[in-house]
Amino acid sequence: DAGVIQSPRHEVTEMGQEVTLRCKPISGHNSLFWYRQTMMRGLELLIYFNNNVPIDDSGMPEDRFSAKMPNASFSTLKIQPSEPRDSAVYFCASSSIQGIGTEAFFGQGTRLTVV
């Protein structure tokens, strides 16, 4: 398996534009997480899905952010409209249910720059 695949790897956009980040989890994994990483705030969980259902989106900063998981092999994180403070590295991670505690595998991340 190629691991968790994210696209694009880098995104530069102008303030006010819509941005869509994509993630393909590891085949067979049934949990998917979106994290945002900044120097100031570290790794923050934005939202996570179990079996394609959003379980906790309390980390989504505001209504400009939305996430979907239409099937087990694909998820998107959308920012509309984007703002300079959204600049960060966005990681997608996936894991599978194996009782107590399971490793989360991270994708390579998408570095977003909003100018």
How many helices, marked H, and strands, marked E, lie in the chain? 0, 11
Among 7, 20, 31, 76, binds another protein (CB under 8 A): 31
Residues 93-112, mask of contacts with another protein (x by CB under 8 A)? --xxx-xxxxxx-xxxx---
Residue 91, interface with another protein (CB under 8 A)?
yes
In the block, residue with structure tokens 């590891």? 26
> Which of residues 33 and 65 has its CB atom nearest to another protein in the complex?
33
Residue 70, interface with another protein (CB under 8 A)?
no
Instruction: Name which of residues 37 to 66 contact another protein (CB under 8 A).
Output: 42-45, 48, 50, 55-56, 58
DSSP 3-state assignment of 90?
strand
> Which of residues 82 and 95 has its CB atom nearest to another protein in the complex?
95
What is the CB-side half-sphere exposure of residue 60 using CA atoms within 13 A? Answer: 18
Residue 25, interface with another protein (CB under 8 A)?
no
Max Cα–Cα distance, the chain, nearest Å: 44
H or E, element range at 106? strand 105-106
In the block, residue with structure tokens 């960060």? 88
Number of residues that this document lists for the chain: 115
Binding region for another protein (CB under 8 A) = 30-31, 33, 42-45, 48, 50, 55-56, 58, 91, 95-97, 99-104, 106-109
